[in-house]
Amino acid sequence: MKKQVKNNVYWVGKIDWELEEFHGSDYSVTVGSSQNSYLIQEEKTVLIDTVWSPHKDEFVEHLKEEVDLNSIDYIIMNHGEVDHSGSLPRLMEEIPDVPIYCTKNALDSLVGQYHHPEWNFKVVKTGDSLDIGNGKKLVFVEMRMLHWPDSMATYLTSDNILFSNDAFGQHYAVEELFDDLAEQGLLWEQAMKYYANILNPFSKLVAKKLEEILALNLPIDIIAPSHGAIWRDRPGDIVEAYAKWANAYQEDRITIFYDSMWEATTAMAHELAREISKASPSTKVKVFNVAQTDRNDLMTEVFRSKAVAVGSPTVGRDILTSMAGILHFVKELHFENKKAAVFGSYGWSGEGNKILREKMTEAGFQVVEPEMKIKWKPTAEDLKQAVEVAKALTE
Ligand code: FEO
């Protein structure tokens, strides 16, 4: 069933309550999600984006209940990724000649994935527009690398709706559709998790694109992303949040994450937390064992932090694989302007700290000199190493 967004603009997407992971297993989906598709019924009928392929039959059947598919004049594909384009082949079986508006890069991604170069593609670039009647126009804005080279946003004049695709989205199932009806804690938590885990590597481009969009002086009443709640109540707040998040974001927080074999590194993590709290009582300190923590939630904690401490015992002249995997992810997300400290226990050769130091430096963190490196099981005296580390992280 279509749901009204504003005037003749309707949501025709899929609320995906059962979704548990995204991008393979790289993103944990804990509160459902949605793939938002929009139908505009002015003099021209326009469909913006589709939904993920497992829902393609349901999507097309529901769409048929709302509109004669043959009356669709234009399809806008803001992005070629499968969660938004997956139902396109099914839809094109029904209406093979309908023009598909997309960026040059989306032409490449759509043809590359679906192998239909004969579809009626119309390539658009920033500033191009499409008249849809009743005095309204769609204006296209390329969103290159936000988060794919093919990404684009579409702005509907007069109704002042920005269909932003992935930008400003959340993996959060909101049957009520709108930001003001969503649970506020979850909404903002999921918006931040989405930014930290998907958009953070492109923060410089996000900042530039926001400036570019704001310079256009387009009135924006609604931001309608391709996942989660539609921002009709507080579109300005999410734009403001993105402007902050894109600028080497940090809070007065320190995140400690580690893995341990026989609890020695665990004891070091806990002592470090106590010392940080002593050195700076206002700083929010959290400790995570990476083997027991959702890694996307952990990345969100890192995103919010001004500093981190990472710990692993030395094993086989290296670090634990759980930590190696997490540090790979940390590097991939390109955090900026954050300090790091390293800690770990050892029995013989003790390369762990050196490796942690290298990996965190490579990931762009400013690694502080003091560290905790303790042979075998820590004594109370050994644990005093935490004092200097805490000082270096909090000063
Ligand atoms: Fe929601 Fe990049 O796809």
Which residues neighbour 211 within 8 Å (Cβ) at sequence distance 6 or greater?
none
The string of DSSP codes covering 146-178 is SSSTT-EEEEETTTTEEEEETTT--S---TT-B
Question: Backbone phi, then psi, for 258, in 5-degree steps?
Answer: -160, 170
Question: 179 CB under 6 A from ligand 1?
Answer: no
Q: Which amino acid is at 207?
A: A
**pLDDT recorded at residue 133:** 98
The number of the ligand 1 atom at minimal distance from the alpha carbon of 226 is 1
The number of the ligand 1 atom at minimal distance from the alpha carbon of 151 is 2
- Centre of ligand 1 to C-alpha 146, Å, is 9
What's the chain's average pLDDT? 97
In angstroms, the Cα distances linking 70 to 42, 43, 74, 109, 274 are: 15, 14, 10, 25, 66
What tokens appear for 150 in the block? 């093919």
- Centre of ligand 1 to C-alpha 344, Å, is 38
What is the distance between the alpha carbons of residues 19 and 165, in angstroms, rounded to a whole number?
A: 19
Active site residues: 23, 79, 81, 83, 147, 166, 194, 227
Query: pLDDT digits over 230-249, tens only?
Result: 999 999 999 999 999 999 99
What is the distance between the alpha carbons of residues 98 and 91, in angstroms, rounded to a whole number?
A: 10
The number of the ligand 1 atom at minimal distance from the alpha carbon of 169 is 1
Does the pLDDT at position 216 exceed 90? Answer: no
Question: Is 145 or 318 the better-scoring residue by pLDDT?
Answer: 318
**pLDDT recorded at residue 217:** 87
Query: pLDDT digits over 10-39, tens only?
Result: 999 999 999 999 999 999 999 999 999 999
Query: pLDDT digits over 78-107, tens only?
Result: 999 999 999 999 999 999 999 999 999 999
Query: pLDDT digits over 320-363, tens only?
Result: 999 999 999 999 999 999 999 999 999 999 999 999 999 999 99
Hey, whose CA ends up nearest to atom 2 of ligand 1? 81
- The C-alpha torsion from 387 through 391 and 392 to 395, rounded to 10°, is 180
Does the pLDDT at position 291 exceed 90? Answer: yes
Question: 84 CB under 6 A from ligand 1?
Answer: yes
Question: Is the alpha carbon torsion for 131, 132, 135, 141 positive or negative?
Answer: negative
**pLDDT recorded at residue 221:** 98
What tokens appear for 189 in the block? 């938590």
The number of the ligand 1 atom at minimal distance from the alpha carbon of 82 is 3
- Centre of ligand 1 to C-alpha 226, Å, is 8
- Centre of ligand 1 to C-alpha 393, Å, is 36
Query: pLDDT digits over 248-263, tens only?
Result: 999 999 999 999 999 9
Does the pLDDT at position 68 exceed 90? Answer: yes
- Centre of ligand 1 to C-alpha 287, Å, is 31
Question: 227 CB under 6 A from ligand 1?
Answer: yes
Question: Looking at the DSSP assignment, which residues form a beta bridge with residue 162?
Answer: 155, 223
**pLDDT recorded at residue 1:** 84
Does the pLDDT at position 201 exceed 90? Answer: yes
Question: 171 CB under 6 A from ligand 1?
Answer: no
Question: 166 CB under 6 A from ligand 1?
Answer: yes
The string of DSSP codes covering 245-302 is HTTT---SEEEEEE--SSSHHHHHHHHHHHHHHHH-TTSEEEEEEGGGS-HHHHHHHH
Q: Which amino acid is at 370?
A: P
**pLDDT recorded at residue 214:** 87
Q: Around Cβ 49, how many Cβ atoms within 10 Å? A: 24
> Cβ-count burial of 244 within 10 angstroms (0-12 exposed, 13-18 middle, 19+ buried)?
exposed
**pLDDT recorded at residue 119:** 98
Hey, whose CA ends up nearest to atom 1 of ligand 1? 166
